Amino acid sequence: MPEKLYKLPAAFYEHIGKMSFQEIAETVATAFFGEDVKEDDLKKIVDDTLSFDCPTVKVEDNIYSLELFHGPTLAFKDVGARFMARLLQYFIKQENKGTVNVLVATSGDTGSAVANGFLGVEGIHVYVLYPKGKVSKIQECQFTTLGQNITAVEVDGVFDDCQALVKSAFMDSDLQKAMTLTSANSINVARFLPQAFYYFNAYARMQEIGKADNLVICVPSGNFGNITAGLFAQQMGLPVKRFIAANNANDIFYKYLQTGKYEPKPSIQTLANAMDVGDPSNFARVYDMYDKDWETVKAHVSGATYSDDDIRATIKQCYDDNKYILDPHGACGYKALKDLLQEGETGVFCETAHPAKFKDTVDAILGTPVEIPERLQAFMKGTKQSVPMSKEFADFKQFLLSERSSAN
Ligand SMILES: *Cc1c(COP(=O)(O)O)cnc(C)c1O
240 pLDDT exceeds 70? yes
Edge-to-edge strand ranges of the sheet holding 301-305: 56-60, 63-67, 346-351, 215-220, 242-247, 301-305
407 pLDDT exceeds 60? no
Per-residue pLDDT reduced to its tens digit, 275-317: 988 888 889 989 999 999 999 999 999 999 999 999 999 999 9
Fold for 78-189+378-407, please state it.
Rossmann fold (3.40.50)
Q: Is the CB of 78 under 6 A from ligand 1?
A: no
State whether the Cα torsion 15-29-2-252 is positive or negative. positive
Q: Is the CB of 270 under 6 A from ligand 1?
A: no
Structure letter (DSSP) for residue 224: S
Edge-to-edge strand ranges of the sheet holding 387-389: 180-183, 100-105, 124-131, 150-155, 387-389
How far, in Å, CA of 156 to CA of 199, rounded? 40
52 pLDDT exceeds 60? yes
Q: Check residue 88 and give its pLDDT.
A: 84
Quick one: average pLDDT of 330-356?
A: 97
Please, are residues 30 and 44 in contact by the beta-carbon 8 Å criterion? no
379 pLDDT exceeds 90? no
Q: What are the angstrom distances between the C-alpha of 323 and each of 199, 255, 350, 369? A: 25, 33, 18, 14
**Please, what's the b/e burial string for 48-73 (b: 16 or more CB within 10 A of its CB; e: otherwise)?**
ebbeeebebeebeebbbbbbbbbbbb
Protein residue whose Cα sits closest to atom 15 of ligand 1: 274
- Identify the residue with better confidence: 313 or 273: 313
Q: Check residue 109 and give its pLDDT.
A: 78
Least confident of 43-47, 61-65, 145-149, 180-184: 180-184
Closest Cα partner for 263 from 250, 249, 246, 245?
Answer: 250
Q: Check residue 228 and give its pLDDT.
A: 93
Amino acid at 12: F
Please, are residues 371 and 128 in contact by the beta-carbon 8 Å criterion? no
Q: What are the angstrom distances between the C-alpha of 19 and each of 49, 150, 201, 205, 299? A: 17, 36, 9, 9, 30
Question: How far, in Å, from the CA of 100 to the mean position of ligand 1?
Answer: 27
- Ligand 1 nearest-atom number relative to CA 228: 7
Q: Is the CB of 353 under 6 A from ligand 1?
A: yes
Q: How far is CA 236 from the centre of its chain?
A: 20
Q: Check residue 185 and give its pLDDT.
A: 61
Q: What are the angstrom distances between the C-alpha of 24 and each of 14, 211, 221, 240, 363? A: 12, 18, 25, 16, 37
Q: Check residue 73 and give its pLDDT.
A: 84
Question: How far, in Å, from the CA of 222 to the mean position of ligand 1?
Answer: 6
Question: How far, in Å, from the CA of 165 to the mean position of ligand 1?
Answer: 24
Question: How far, in Å, from the CA of 271 to the mean position of ligand 1?
Answer: 13
Give the pLDDT band (50/70/90) at residue 406. Answer: low
Question: How far, in Å, from the CA of 274 to the mean position of ligand 1?
Answer: 5
Quick one: average pLDDT of 49-72?
A: 92
Protein residue whose Cα sits closest to atom 8 of ligand 1: 223
Q: Check residue 50 and give its pLDDT.
A: 82
Question: How far, in Å, from the CA of 114 to the mean position of ligand 1?
Answer: 14
408 pLDDT exceeds 70? no
244 pLDDT exceeds 70? yes
Q: Check residue 189 and give its pLDDT.
A: 64
Give the pLDDT band (50/70/90) at residue 186. Answer: very low
Amino acid at 99: T
Mutate to test the pocket of ligand 1, among 352, 357, 359 (most ligand atoms within 8 A of CB): 352
- Identify the residue with better confidence: 34 or 238: 238
Give the pLDDT band (50/70/90) at residue 93. Answer: confident
Pairing of strands 124-131, 150-155: parallel
Q: Is the CB of 328 under 6 A from ligand 1?
A: no
Q: Is the CB of 191 under 6 A from ligand 1?
A: no
Question: How far, in Å, from the CA of 79 to the mean position of ligand 1?
Answer: 12
Which residues make beta-bridge pairs with 58?
Answer: 64
Question: How far, in Å, from the CA of 294 to the mean position of ligand 1?
Answer: 24
What are the residue ranges of CATH 3.40.50.1100 in the chain? 10-72+191-366, 78-189+378-407
Report the C-alpha dihedral over residues 192, 197, 198, 201, rounded to 10 degrees: 170
How far, in Å, CA of 335 to CA of 330, rounded? 8
CATH code of the domain occupying 10-72+191-366: 3.40.50.1100
Report the C-alpha dihedral over residues 183, 28, 235, 53, rounded to 10 degrees: -80
With a pLDDT cut of 90, the percent of the chain lying above it is 64
Which residues make beta-bridge pairs with 301?
Answer: 243
Least confident of 129-143, 174-188, 275-289, 380-394: 174-188
Q: Check residue 1 and give its pLDDT.
A: 60
With a pLDDT cut of 70, the percent of the chain lying above it is 96
pLDDT averaged over every residue in the chain: 91
Q: Which helix (H) or strand (E) holds 125?
A: strand 124-131
Q: Which helix (H) or strand (E) holds 124?
A: strand 124-131
pTM: 0.89
Please, are residues 283 and 255 in contact by the beta-carbon 8 Å criterion? no
Mutate to test the pocket of ligand 1, among 227, 329, 350 (most ligand atoms within 8 A of CB): 329
